[in-house]
Amino acid sequence: MAIGAAVTRLGREISARHRDGLVIVAVLKGSLLFVSDLMRSFTIQPVVDFLAISRYAPDSGRVRIVKDLDLDISGRDVVLVEDIVDTGLTLGFLLGELGRRSPASLEVCTLLDKRVRRILPAPLAYVGFEVPDVFVLGYGLDFAGRYRNLDMLIAADPVALTADPDIYVDQLYGAHSRGSG
């Protein structure tokens, strides 16, 4: 996938709609690489803040905020930046949380949209790529903390990863790089 071209396009789209400024809210940790490249592609100057969430269980939609925003977003134009929207449950939680803080506007930008798995409708204003029902790793996306720093996106086998989370490490990082990250 041509990540760079997609990020540049998203940066232009968001900049064109937000000439008067905006707050970028990035969801840690998955959006780490994406938001840093996205920030560099803007032709406007946004402010950025971070939310960190933790999931109680996969696909449960039960999420809690483990690091909240430093900024007050009331009356501000906000773009929430996500790595991937899958079932939409996490996004639904986040939009509820942020919506209660009365932003002037609240849009969502996601690098990846796995819309075949959607449970909750997700209002996505900016989408990098639509992906099929595959497990994706790299460019911020992890399995058990691994593979986030890959400068590419790969489709991985979740069954193999569950059996051995390091299964792709030798292939992707070289033979001497085992260990969690």
Nearest one of 51, 83, 85 to 68, comparing CA atoms:
51
Phi (first) and psi of residue 39, to 5 degrees: -55, -40
Interface residue with ligand IMP among 18, 79, 83, 126 (CB under 6 A) is: 83
Shortest spacing between CB 104 and ligand IMP, in angstroms: 25
Which amino acid is it at 102? S
User: Is 84 one of the binding residues for ligand IMP (CB under 6 A)?
Assistant: yes
Q: What are the phi and psi torsion angles at 109 (to 5°)?
A: -120, 125
Rounded to a whole number of angstroms, the minimum distance from the CB of residue 28 to ligand IMP is 10
In angstroms, give the least distance from the CB of 153 to ligand IMP. Answer: 9
Site track 127-166 with ligand IMP (rule: CB under 6 A), x = hit: --------xx----x-------------------------
**Nearest residue (CB) to ligand IMP, 35 versus 84:** 84
DSSP state of 143: B
The answer for residues whose C-beta is within 8 angstroms of residue 37's C-beta and 6 or more apart is 3, 4, 7
Among 32, 46, 90, 109, binds ligand IMP (CB under 6 A): 90
Q: Which is nearer to ligand IMP, 74 or 149 (CB)?
A: 149
Q: What is the DSSP letter of 152?
A: S
Residue 113 binding ligand IMP, by CB under 6 A:
no
Does residue 151 carry a catalytic annotation?
no
**DSSP code at position 116:** G
Question: What distance in Å separates the CA atoms of residue 2 and residue 70, rounded to the nearest whole number?
Answer: 33
Residue tagged active-site, from 37, 83, 86, 113: 86
> Is residue 6 classed as helix, strand or coil in its secondary structure?
helix
Instruction: Give the binding site for ligand IMP (CB under 6 A).
Output: 30, 59, 61, 82-91, 114, 135-136, 141
- List residues with catalytic annotation: 86
